[in-house]
């Protein structure tokens, strides 16, 4: 009687082949633009009047998303929520982004994209344009807490998503790398294949007296990598929406 065990073994091996933990996402059809010019340190020339960031807010951030503390252990509810960091407009509005803090080891750029609220992106092909807000909001950033930028005026039915571009600022050439790894507020655009690891932006409610903000904290490392600390404090910003 013939034996076919080797063939069976090969078939089983092929069926059990592990899927990659990360699949690179290419934004090859996306156009990249700037809100304006910036100096040799990456500081934008288009900053608005600086917001006042209280010591209380800074301390709140340090307590809520402390350096090198895994958010899955400290505040898992921030990761399990279905809420995303995008802004969905129900009326025409001006939008401002305020830089609060950074805890990055990489020179990360911060940018935004838009899409129709009723048609969220399914892949990078759906992102027609990405606009840089802060050329370097990460390591050695020249930004101060409270530095604010108006990113534009947008119509009702528009959603604004955000993207942290890993180590995109090149301090030697004073330029940005459009091909840097993108970590987006829309989980579907991120490279991790495990749904539990795809989130790179979390919403954090801050309230002190009459000062209420929804902070957005970003993680700037592929979350499947051993070097990722999952602390989501690499860049922290908040948005201000003013109806027209």
The CA distance from 210 to 131, in Å, is 32
CB 134 within 8 A of CB 149: yes
Residues of the chain with pLDDT > 70, as a percent, come to 92
How many alpha carbons fall within 13 Å on the CB side of residue 183? 26
Domain residue limits, the chain: 29-243
Q: Residue range 94-106: average pLDDT?
A: 98
Q: pLDDT tens-digit profile of 16-68?
A: 456 679 999 999 999 999 999 999 999 999 999 999 999 999 999 999 999 99
DSSP letter for each residue of 60-104: HHHHHS-TT--HHHH-THHHH----S-EE-SS-EEEEEEEEEE--
CB 137 within 8 A of CB 173: no
Compute the CA torsion angle 126, 111, 169, 38 (nearest 10 deg): 130
Residue predicted with more confidence, 239 or 3: 239
CB 156 within 8 A of CB 89: yes
Residue 130 has pLDDT above 90, yes or no: yes
Residue predicted with more confidence, 63 or 9: 63
Lowest mean pLDDT among 9-13, 151-155, 193-197: 9-13
CB 182 within 8 A of CB 127: no
Residue 103 has pLDDT above 60, yes or no: yes
Q: 196-223: buried (b, 16+ CB within 10 Å) or exposed (e) per residue?
A: ebbbbbbebebeeeeeebebbbbbbbbb
User: Cβ–Cβ contacts within 10 Å for residue 89, how many?
Assistant: 18
Structure tokens at 36: 């304006």
């Amino acid at each position: 009687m013939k034996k076919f065990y080797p063939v069976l073994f090969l078939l089983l091996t092929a069926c059990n082949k592990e899927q990659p933990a990360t699949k690179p996402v290419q934004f090859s059809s996306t156009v990249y633009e700037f809100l304006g010019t910036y100096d040799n340190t990456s500081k934008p020339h288009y900053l608005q009047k600086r917001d006042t960031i209280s010591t209380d807010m800074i301390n709140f951030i340090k307590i809520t998303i402390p350096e090198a503390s895994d958010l899955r252990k400290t505040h898992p509810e921030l990761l399990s929520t279905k809420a995303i960091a995008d802004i969905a407009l129900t009326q025409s509005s001006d939008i401002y982004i305020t830089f609060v803090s950074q805890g990055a080891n990489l020179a990360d750029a911060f940018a935004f994209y838009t899409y129709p609220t009723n048609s969220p992106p399914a892949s990078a092909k759906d992102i027609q344009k990405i606009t840089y807000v802060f050329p370097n909001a990460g390591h050695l950033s020249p930004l101060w807490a409270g530095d604010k930028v108006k990113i534009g005026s947008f119509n009702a039915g528009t959603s604004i998503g955000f993207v942290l571009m890993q180590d995109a600022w090149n301090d030697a050439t004073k330029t940005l790398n459009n091909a840097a790894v993108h970590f987006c507020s829309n989980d579907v655009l991120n490279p991790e294949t495990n749904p539990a690891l795809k989130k790179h932006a979390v919403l954090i409610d801050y309230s002190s007296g009459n000062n209420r903000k929804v902070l957005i904290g970003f993680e700037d490392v592929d979350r499947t990598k051993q070097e990722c600390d999952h602390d989501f404090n690499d860049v922290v910003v908040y948005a201000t929406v003013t109806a027209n």
